[in-house]
Amino acid sequence: MKSYLDNGATTIVDPAVVKAMIPFFSDIYGNPSSVHNVGQEAKRYLDESREVIAKKIRSSFDEIIFTSGGTESDNLAIIGFAGANKDKGKHIITTNIEHPAVTNSCDALKKEGFDISKVGVDKVGFVDIEKLEGLIRDDTILVSVIHGNNEIGTIQDISVIGDVCRKHGVTFHTDAVQSFTKVPIDVKNIPVDMISFSSHKIHGPKGIGALYIRKGIKISPTSHGGGHEFNKRAGTENIPGIIGFARAIKLASHSHCKNMSDLRDYFISKVFEEISDVKLNGPKGDSRLCNNVNISFANIEAESLGAYLDVNGICTSSGSACSSHSLQPSHVLIAIGIDKELANGTLRFTLSRFTTKEEIDYTVDVLKKHANKLRKISPLKRVLKNVF
């Protein structure tokens, strides 16, 4: 049996998405910037797809910019905004649990003279709102806080954070790559100015994403060429990818999220019933992404446990896929107070709407078998109090 539980890294493309994309490789193949009828036919589908995303978050049509994915969206939001607004200040606030696309964008700006402040989080990953507000200065121009954390699943209250930013006249960006279609986002009711999205986390194709930019927010393009995407992102649009992205959004439903959250809680309960000395990282219930499970196994190296799972057809992750080759423990786990030894014994399991109960049962059986085997040969004898 096989069990793919690394959907936080990427998801299978839904067959219905593939079907929707196929005509746009050879039948409707025009460049949407061309004025002839073949190009304008492609533009019509481009516009319809843009409207799908706009409708999903209740934004205006021209507030949606297509990009190559979540990383580019984060870079465009942070670096593009900083470039266009540096005359107003050079102070940016973010957190110590961001995705590398945000962290490294901020690091790049730091080399250019920007001052970056990082606000801490509590033991389950929630931002300290009072400390965040305390960091805001007269020269603060941007706050960037991840919506649903890619490692531990914590869902931040972006409405409250947005209110704080709006109160002080500071622009607010959130990375919603993991949370999009899993957590409702309504930009008419939430004071957020820029939001990053990605297709391949929601059963759409890779290489396509989007950035919501509220009207009135100025950014400098980070790529230069023609006047595509309302002069904010140069380059001929990836029409097949955009069509697939829009179709994936339409296919996403509340029932899918409910099923994932039920399986998530079942999985966690089974692990805690069957395996001793384990710790759940991140919050419980509705404050956690419906598909995310992050568990530390005392006295075990996650790399070894993950390898045994892989041999048995089970795909997992020891952290963010974008930093999985790093030998350093997860910065997110360190930020919530997990020590290095336990952090190195942590695996992330991320479900999809195609995950089954049989896969979960199989995974727990394999986990139990190999966790016990590895602990017998481990020189470490740490005891954890299982809490769920």
Closest to 141 (Cα-Cα) out of 178, 96, 109, 189: 109
Q: pLDDT tens across 240-254, in order? A: 999 999 999 999 999
Average pLDDT over residues 212-237: 93
Q: pLDDT tens across 163-211, in order? A: 999 999 999 999 999 999 999 999 999 999 999 999 999 999 999 999 9
Q: pLDDT tens across 119-176, in order? A: 999 999 999 999 999 999 999 999 999 999 999 999 999 999 999 999 999 999 999 9
**Domains of the chain with CATH codes:** 3-10+254-377 (3.90.1150.10), 15-251 (3.40.640.10)
> What pLDDT does 373 receive?
92
Q: Of 165, 290, 315, 322, which residue is the catalytic one?
A: 322
> What pLDDT does 320 receive?
47
**CA–CA–CA angle 61, 62, 65 (5° rounding):** 105
Residue spans of alpha helices (H) in 155-217: 158-167
Average pLDDT over residues 108-124: 98
Closest to 207 (Cα-Cα) out of 240, 182, 176, 178: 240
Instruction: Give catalytic status of residue 322 as yes or no.
Output: yes
Percentage of the chain exceeding pLDDT 90: 91
**Does position 278 have pLDDT exceeding 70, yes or no?**
yes
**Does position 324 have pLDDT exceeding 90, yes or no?**
no
On average, the pLDDT of the chain sits at 95
Beta-strand relationship, 115-119 and 91-95 = parallel
Take residue 154 and report the two structure tokens written for it.
């914590």
Percentage of the chain exceeding pLDDT 70: 95
Secondary structure element (H or E) that encloses residue 306, with its range: helix 302-311
Average pLDDT over residues 7-15: 98
